[in-house]
Amino acid sequence: MLFEMQCDATPADIRRVLHSIRTQLSERTLGGAETITIAELVLAEILNNISEHAYSNTDCGTINVMADDLVWAWQFHVLDQGMAIPEAVQLPTEAATPEASRLPESGFGLIIINTLADNLEYKRSNGTNHLSFVITKVPAPTPH
C-alpha cells in the first residue's frame, strides 16, 4: 500500500489531507504533475460529497483514504461511515452542452468524477461506504 490517511469530514481537514496526498504522490511515485492534478480533482469532489451528503446529519464524521501504486495507475479506496449513496444518484457520462439561458451552478462534481476516474465502484457493507476507483497515469511528454 502506498499510503493510508484519515481526515475529519470538514472543509479544513479535507484541504489538509488533499495537500498531504499531493505530497505523497509527488514524492513517492512516478506519476507526473498532470496525473496528480487529476487525482486531486477527483478526490476533492469525492471527499466534499462525503462531507456534504453522507455526513450531512453530523459534524463528526471521519474519512479514510487508501492508495496503491499500480505502475500504470493509482488505485484509491475511500471509506466513510455516513449515510449510503441513494440509488437514484446516477453518474452522468459527460457534460451536456450548456444553454446560455439555463446555466447549471451545481452537478459539476459528478461530471468531474465520472470523466476522470476509471473503474469506479461503490459498495455498502456493515454501515460503511466503500468507493474505489483508478486514476490512470498520464505519460510525461517525451523530450525530443
Partner 1 sequence: MAAIAFKDAMRTATQDETGRAILDLSEVTFIDSSGLGAIVAALKQMPDGTALELACLSSAVEKVFSLTRMDTVFKIHKQLPVTYPADV
Least CB distance to partner 1 at residue 41 (A):
7
Nearer to partner 1, 57 or 97 (CB): 97
d(CA 113, CA 115): 6
143 lines the binding site for partner 1 (CB under 8 A): no
Q: Quick one: which segment of 61-69, 80-88, 92-100, 132-140 binds partner 1 (CB under 8 A)?
A: 92-100
Within a 10 A sphere around the Cβ of 128, how many other Cβ atoms? 13
CA–CA–CA angle 93, 41, 69 (5° rounding): 95
Least CB distance to partner 1 at residue 60 (A):
19
Cell of 37: 492534478
Across-strand partners of 67? 3, 76
Closest-CA residue to 86 (of 141, 116, 49, 61):
49
d(CA 75, CA 69): 7
What mask, x for binding partner 1 by CB under 8 A, covers residues 23 to 62? Answer: -----------x--xx-xx--xx--x--------------
117 lines the binding site for partner 1 (CB under 8 A): no
Least CB distance to partner 1 at residue 39 (A):
11
Q: List contacts with partner 1 (CB under 8 A).
A: 34, 37-38, 40-41, 44-45, 48, 95-98, 100, 103-109, 111-112, 115-116
